[in-house]
Amino acid sequence: MTEAGKRLLRFAKSVEEERDCLRHDLDQLREEVIGNLIVTASTIPGEFLLPSIMSEFKALHPAVRAQVVVSDSLTVISEVRDGAYEVGFCGTAPEGQEMESFKIAEDEIVLIVFPEHPFAKRTEVSLAELEGEPFIFREETSGTQQSLQALLSKAGLDINKWVPNLVLGTTQAVVSAVELRAGIAFVSNLAIKKSLSLDMVKQVTVNGLRLRRDFYCIYRRERVVSRLLGEFIAFIRARSLQS
């Protein structure tokens, strides 16, 4: 390339960069919120909380194109921290000053069994009776599994001593496995409403055990630079306060 050509290339690149900046600035001045909104979420928020959240936000801002990418909690935190996504939703509050988070919902992890299981006809069971049962677990990076381990540990139980019958990658897969009589499981109560209504699983109370946790919206404050992202986070905050 000649010197004149190199100079022209530098000029063209600067014009392109300035055009992108101008487009961004003009978008911020629009009354209408527009753009692509891609968020990441762990299984429970992604499957059971975000469908209604995104639908409500889209109703307010029809020009927004929204997408939810579902992963496990550790991956969600890692990808938001690394900048792959600007906002995420999971059941674990991230550590570190570079991350911001706020609570959006509450959840309870409950024990479910298939209808023919001996526990199904009981009003409650004891912690000691759980030993030796064919449990179905989520993978270790799952927020549900991490919360379950932490909450059971507070109750004096070491879940690592239980040998799982199955380890599955999604909560829905765990519920389906219980329906198929493959074992019993601790799952989010948000994930079993349909199965309970169809009498495909039974929820069983464990004496003296309440497994509650929270879900969070997470983001890096310095990356909230677009009007779209700012409006979305403000919408989530306002919605969570009304819950």
CB neighbours of residue 102 within 10 Å? 15
Rounded to whole angstroms, how far apart are CA atoms 71 and 42?
Answer: 5
Q: Is the pLDDT of residue 28 over 60?
A: no
Across 158-172, b (16+ Cβ under 10 Å) vs e yields ebeebeeeeebebbb
Which region, left, alpha or beta, applies to residue 187 given φ > 0 means left and ψ of -120 to 50 means alpha?
beta
For CA atoms 44, 162, 205, 176, the dihedral sign is positive
pLDDT in tens, 78-99: 999 999 999 999 988 888 778 8
Query: Longest Cα pair distance anywhere in the chain, in angstroms?
Result: 85
Q: Which residues contact 20 (CB under 8 A, 6 or more apart)?
A: none
Q: Measure Cα distances from 177 to 1, 78, 86, 125, 168 in Å.
A: 64, 29, 34, 21, 9
pLDDT in tens, 102-160: 999 998 999 999 999 999 999 899 988 988 899 999 888 887 888 888 888 887 777 87
CB neighbours of residue 44 within 10 Å? 30
Q: Do 89 and 46 contact (CB within 8 A), yes or no?
A: yes
pLDDT in tens, 144-175: 888 888 888 887 777 877 888 899 988 999 99
Q: Quick one: which H or E segment has residue 194?
A: helix 193-197
pTM score of the predicted model: 0.76
What type of residue is 207?
Answer: N
Average pLDDT score over the chain: 88
In order of start, what are the domains of the chain with their CATH numbers?
32-105+215-242 (3.40.190.10), 107-213 (3.40.190.10)
Rounded to whole angstroms, how far apart are CA atoms 10 and 90?
Answer: 44
CB neighbours of residue 108 within 10 Å? 11
Q: What residues pair up with 125 in beta bridges, in sequence order?
A: 206
| pLDDT range class, residue 27, cuts 50, 70, 90 | low
**Crossing angle, helix 143-154 and helix 73-82, to 10 degrees?**
120
